[in-house]
Chain A
């Protein structure tokens, strides 16, 4: 099986990585970059624990080949905070008590950040629809939805999510 050398921006850092054809973006992040905040839940695009931003849009990183990300821009949960300042969605989920076991939390944070980027004032229904692909078996979702609403009212002090054209 062939190996591919790819250049990829991960959380604002330009990286060169050598990956086999069958390595997923999720495995690359966890096993070659030690970014274990991105979780391996179902490996089938159902649970959303592995959600990251790819070129500014949320994707299931277990369903993407690392080699496809050549030239791309990835943001993981580790990249949400800037200058020791948490992203508002991170502050809000702590305040609202939206974390229990924590396994779904990285994916929830990424999907929520993406929602707030495209819709700064989401309704309850918008939030629930945006989080359909992020399963949580602990919280019952109430406090997660509350956290996203809380974050929508907070000022973003962290740097904006980088896009490929930047």
Chain B
């Protein structure tokens, strides 16, 4: 019996377009057979395993602006689609103004995988387990998309439709993600539970961000985003509202964590049971919120 544990990649054509317009044109003319290609850390694995069989991989890494990492003290942070996670982690601007983004990136796989993995790729994959998506949601990221009809913006909050499904249409290319300036006095935390301490996919991931906000009754605004507990990266709106309207104590944080777990609809899979996920969503929400709360005071 032939048993090949190292299947070669199936056949495909590698396309390196010269411009965004050319890339978009090619993708729109091959809607079912062409895929945009960044670091390949997900696409190549799924091709090798036979889950997807694209005829064309369209390399986005050398297109205009996709390698930019820029911080502007008046408008915020811009990350090009091809900026790898190690660059994000090492950026002094990210460390100073968006530390939770660096923290989330650091939790992804290994150093050598992060030399290739990108935040925009993580987002476009739309895996519910995506480690960096929560931080991008909490920091109000907006995607810049180049489509066949020209550029447009997509707020991340409405971008995810299901596992692997987004609002992107054939011919759409995400060129960058932009973050506004972080809220004044904010603190953030990403807690990830995996089967081992480092490098695994998450069983549950919780991103929490908090900042003083006098338009809220409680005086504080908290953002939460959960990974691996629903078909899409989950923002538990009721928990956020609860913390905006009740003065912050360990007891109200606990109640918000329960609301956060209530919002989850996890599944059983190879990494964990749904029941365990739900309990851990509660515990990690409480822990992340408490840590953020401590850092705010």
Contact = CB atoms under 8 A, between A and B. Distances in A.
Q: DSSP class of A's interface residues: helix, strand, loop or mixed?
A: mixed
B40 A65 contact: yes
Contacts of A2: 13-14
B110 A133 contact: yes
A60 B12 contact: no
A45 B39 CA distance: 12
Given A68-B59, A132-B198, A60 B113 contact: yes
B111 A132 contact: yes
Interface in B105-121: 109-113, 115-116
B158 interface: no
A163 B254 CA distance: 52
Contact of A21 (B13, B113, B115): B13
A51 B14 contact: no
Contacts of B39: 63
Contacts of B61: 68
Interface in B100-137: 109-113, 115-116
B86 A57 contact: yes
Contacts of A133: 109-113, 199
B198 A129 contact: yes
Contacts of A136: none
Interface residues of A, number: 33
A63 B6 contact: no
B199 A4 contact: no
A60 B14 contact: no
Nearest to A130: B111
Contacts of B13: 1-2, 21
Nearest to B86: A57
Contact of B40 (A21, A43, A64): A64
B8 interface: yes
A21 B6 contact: no
A21 B14 contact: yes
Contacts of A4: 14
Interface in A1-58: 1-2, 4, 20-24, 27, 40, 43-45, 48, 51, 54, 57-58
A2 B11 CA distance: 9
B207 to A, nearest CB: 21
Contacts of A75: none
Contact of B110 (A23, A40, A132): A132
B48 interface: yes
Contacts of A60: 112-113, 116
A136 to B, nearest CB: 13
20 contacts: A1-B11, A1-B12, A22-B10, A45-B45, A51-B112, A57-B115, A58-B115, A59-B116, A60-B113, A63-B39, A63-B116, A64-B116, A68-B61, A129-B111, A132-B109, A132-B110, A132-B199, A133-B109, A133-B111, A133-B113
Given A44-B48, A60-B112, A60-B116, 19 more contacts: A1-B12, A20-B11, A21-B57, A22-B10, A23-B9, A24-B44, A48-B112, A59-B115, A63-B41, A63-B45, A64-B40, A65-B14, A65-B57, A67-B14, A68-B61, A129-B111, A133-B109, A133-B112, A134-B110
